[in-house]
Every structure is written in structure tokens, then in C-alpha cells.
Structure 1
Amino acid sequence: MSTNPNWKILSGVFLALSLTACDGGETVPTEVPEGDRFELRLLGQDAEDYEKLMLGVGRVEVMVQGRRVPFQLSPSARAMDLARTDHAYLLGYFYLPAEADAADVRVHFDDVGAFRESGVTGLINARSGSLLFTTKRVELEKRKHVVVQLHLNDSLFQGRGSRVLLPSTFVVH
């Protein structure tokens, strides 16, 4: 089987960027925060054109009534192959206070991703690709998680020298 040496180079660059990227100020709490725990997951959709599509999430912010609530970022969020549409990657856990009816969630992608499509490889500029949505407690309590479906064919556009991520999503509880 022949492999494209450019893909190996891009994979190495992406891995190096992922490993050296700042952690976004997220800390792992030593105690379990107060509130009800819910999962946040990300699933690639409409990825049939892609053999691989690597993106990472560096930071997630969850706000309730104007104040930030604890979020535990999962290590698996740093390197996800979103061309794999049979797996919703765990981004982490957030803790919703008992009095909160809803939360505003913002997911910040790492600056750079990579893709392979029909043997062609390239980079993804994900700097402006953050996701923002509101989720309601009544919906979260049904399954204890929220899944963001990222529709790849509608989210990636050809830019100068790379693809640009402008997310098109659907939120499922």
C-alpha cells in the first residue's frame, strides 16, 4: 500500500501543534464540583468525502446566568478524527447548578487541523471556528449529555492554502 508522504508530514505537524498548544487555562478539579454532571460530545457528520479529518478542542466555556461553571476537558478532545462518523468524541463534563435552567456553551477549536481527501492532504484553519449554543436543563436530563453534530461538508471552505472551518452544526440531546 502506498502512502502519501505529505500526509505523514501534516500529521506530524498537527500532532506537534496539538501537544504544544496551551491548555486554555482548564484545570482538573481535585474535588467533584457542585451541581449535576452532564457530558458534552462532538460527532462528525457528512464526512463521506474525507478519509481523515483531524481537529482538536483546546477550551470549552460553560456559562450560567453570566458566571462560568466548572468544565473538565477530556484528553480525547485534543485529537479527534471527525471523518469517523460512528463515534461521538467526549469533549468533557460540565456541572450545572441545581438552580440553573439553561447553560450557554462555547467550544473553541485548536487553531490548526488536518485532512486527507481522495489522497490529497491539507491543513484546516480553525481559528474562527468556535461553536456557541444554549442548552436547557430539561433536555439535558433526558440522557445526561448533549451531542454537537458538526456537518463537515457544510463547514469547510477552501481558503488561501488551507481549508477554513466555519461550523455548521446541529445540537442533539
Structure 2
Amino acid sequence: MRDHRPARTRRLRAAAAPVAALLALGLAACTGTDDEAAPTPSGTPSVSVTAVPSHGPLDAAQACAAMYLTGDAPLERRVGQAIVGVSGGLTDETASNAYDVDQDLAQLQGRVPEEFSAALDKVRVPFTQLRTAIDAGTQQDVQLDVASTTEGLKEYRALC
């Protein structure tokens, strides 16, 4: 059966499929399989959670809450969904979603304690790669470094 999608879409999907699999495995590893490492449905974190202010610097507990507990879909989950979405095919919707997640990560990065910055840099790598490729018109050939995101999320979680 012949694939009638444009060549650039086929190449992006072919390049992104292994990335999506790696991300799924990596994110699963981030959440762990034992009860102690996985977040509970009640959202009980290993640090006490305070409300996350909308402006100004965050302390460590607030930085953790901002990544794992706040919003309809926590930022960590949105990171994974955005990368998996892009791996399913770069559309206006998936690109817009990835851009929105990257903007939220950038805003968070400007507010977290210094020890969280390196982890967030790693989480943002594929989003920066995608944005750069779209700006250059080379999105059909982009190879996203999802391993960096996985490592960054592990480091961030360890700080929490």
C-alpha cells in the first residue's frame, strides 16, 4: 500500500517514532513503578506543597508543585503529550501545543531556584530543536533529543 502523505511528513514520522517510544519508556521510568516513587492519586509529594504564586520566584516546594501538581494537566504530563503528539505528525495543532509547553517551561525556568535550572534546560532541548527547525523550514528532518527531556525530568523529580 502506498503512503500518500507528503515526503516531509513521512520523514518526520519515521524519525519521531523511535523518539516517542523512548519518551514513553523514559517518562515511565521517571514516575517509577514502586508505590514510593510514583505520585499518589491524592498528589502527596515528598515535600510539603504550598500554593504556587502566579508571579515572582518560587521555592523548591512550589517549583515541584508547578511541575507535577498544578493545572488541569500537570506540566510534566503536558511535556510528554507534546512530544508524543509531534512524533505522530507535525501539524499546526501539534506544533502549537509544543510551542505552548515550551513557553510554560521557559516561564517556570525564570522562577525556580537555581538548582532546578539545569534540569529544565534538559527538558527544553527537543522543544528548542523543534522551534529552530520550524523557523529554518527544516522541520521534516528534525531529530528530537528526547533522551535529554527524560534525563531532565528525572533530575527535576530527584530535586523534589
| TM-score of the two chains, using structure 1 as the length reference | 0.34
Higher RCO, 1 or 2 (CA under 8 Å, sep at least 6)? Answer: 2
Flag the structure with higher helix content.
2
Q: Please, what TM-score do these two structures have when normalized by structure 2?
A: 0.35
Is the strand fraction higher in 1 or 2? 1
